[in-house]
Structure 1
Amino acid sequence: MTAKGGVDPTAEVHASAIIEDGAVIGANCRIGPFCLIGPNVQIGTGVEVKSHVVITGDTEIGDDTVIFSFSVIGEIPQDLKFAGEDTRLVIGKRNRIREHVTMNTGTAGGGFVTRIGDDGLFMAGCHVAHDAQIGNNVILVNNVAVAGHVVIEDDVIVGGLSGLHQWIRIGRGAIIGALSMVTADVLPYGLVQGPRAELDGLNLVGLKRRGVARSDISALRAALNGLKTGEGSFRDRAAGLMDGADSDYVRELVAFITGDSDRGFLTPK
Structure 2
Amino acid sequence: MMKQQYATWLLIALFCISKPVSAMPTDSLDWDNVTPDRATLLRKLQALPCGIRAADSKATVLQKIEVYLAGYRPDPAFPEDTYAKAAVEQALRGAKTGGYGIGAVLVDTKGKIIHGAYNEQLQTGRSDLHAEMALLTQFETLPQFRKYQTKGNFTGEGNTIYTEQLTLYTSAEPCPMCFIRVAIVGVETRYVTTGPDDGMNARASCLPPFWYQLSQKHKVLAARSAPVLQRMAHCLFYSFLLD
TM-score in same-fold range (> 0.5): no
Higher alpha-carbon Rg = 2
TM-score (norm 1): 0.27
Q: Which structure's relative contact order is higher, taking Cα pairs within 8 Å and 6+ residues apart?
A: 2
